[in-house]
Chain A
Amino acid sequence: MVTGADFLRLLLDGGFDFFTGVPCSLVKSLIASLEERGGYIPETREDAAVGLAAGAYLAGKQPVVIMQNSGLGVCLNALASLSLIYHLPCLLLITWRGYQGKDAPEHIIMGDISPTLLTTLRIPHRALSPETVSDSIRWAAETLKQSSQPVALLLPPGVMQ
């Protein structure tokens, strides 16, 4: 397992420098580290967070949007009709509730379809594991720069402390 502080360090090393989102319990230590660092913007909805990140990118930042996969449903149109068509990249750090069908009922369907939704949107994505966090963040940073499009990392339970 990685700590929120270590995860944040890897994001900063990858060049990411603007952070917003809507929380999930699976990333509470990361958000605590971001709040400690300062500058984290707690958004009200995930689609608004994608809009905020688009503005930050236009202003020269490399944004990260943190959300639960329930929020992926909320921001589908923001991704399709803003980020993807204007080529406004951001890293989507999406917690994977309903992973392997083991979760509360409200998470089961979204947990099942999260990777498929990202594939359908043509957003490159990887699932994180404790061993691959560092490599995956580096991959995300490179892919995002090359494509000028959003890239997603799915975070299942058991990866972040």
Chain B
Amino acid sequence: MKLAEALGAIIPLLRDELVVHANGFISRESFNVSDRPGNFYMIGSMGLASSIALGVALNRPDRRVVVFDGDGNVLMNLGSVALIGATQPGNLVHIVFDNEVYGSTGNQRTIAAQVALEEIAHSAGYKRVQRVETATVLRTTAQELLAQPGPSFLLIKIEPDREERKIGRITHGPPQIALRFMAEISNQRSAVSGQQNKERE
């Protein structure tokens, strides 16, 4: 499975979830698949996507918060995995696209081939932990995790892009990304009422 395929399976499942994106190809690919006001694209501060998401999740327990993370990012901030386990935000879904490389710097290997990140999440105390390798299983697993109380951890094994790809950068400036995301958060719809509204439509 390629990153774009994995994103293509998950993004149509999203309703009013707030999604914090790790830097690099994860932000850029997701932006190109579907830009949403509820997307926060982290462009620098590698490692901190899960910390940002936890800060949102702890303070808005009525909203579901999703992290689109990478193996390199998770390895850079394993303390955040531990803190999510310790604080138990039920509204947090941590999705890791694991290609075992630092993709945007030229596919240098990470150590994710040797270390099972989902086992670290399990030990840290995430309520639900899943590892998937195919797009069909991904769809049903992601659907389940997005509907159930967490914190949840979904590790998706993906293939690195072997050829250099020309993929567009985020066209919004950082302050605009933040302001748009804040406006979406302060929108009072809860995850539950949002879903009911959608069902009514």
Contact = CB atoms under 8 A, between A and B. Distances in A.
A51 B44 contact: no
A87 B49 CA distance: 16
Contacts of A59: 55-56, 58-60, 185
Interface in B153-201: 174-175, 177-178, 181-182, 185-186
A96 interface: no
Contacts of A82: 42, 44-45, 48, 52
Contacts, number: 107
B55 A44 contact: no
A47 B48 contact: yes
Contact of A48 (B60, B79, B174): B79
A43 B79 contact: yes
B10 interface: no
Interface stretch (B80-88, B99-107, B111-119, B129-137): B80-88
Interface in B67-105: 77, 79-80, 82-83, 87
B145 interface: no
Interface of B: 20, 40, 42-45, 47-49, 51-60, 77, 79-80, 82-83, 87, 174-175, 177-178, 181-182, 185-186
A55 B177 CA distance: 13
Nearest to A43: B83
A88 interface: yes
Interface of A: 18, 41, 43-45, 47-61, 63, 77-78, 80-82, 85-88
A55 B54 CA distance: 7
A66 B55 CA distance: 15
B185 A78 contact: no
A100 B54 CA distance: 38
A83 to B, nearest CB: 9
Contacts of B177: 86
A47 to B, nearest CB: 7
A58 B174 CA distance: 13
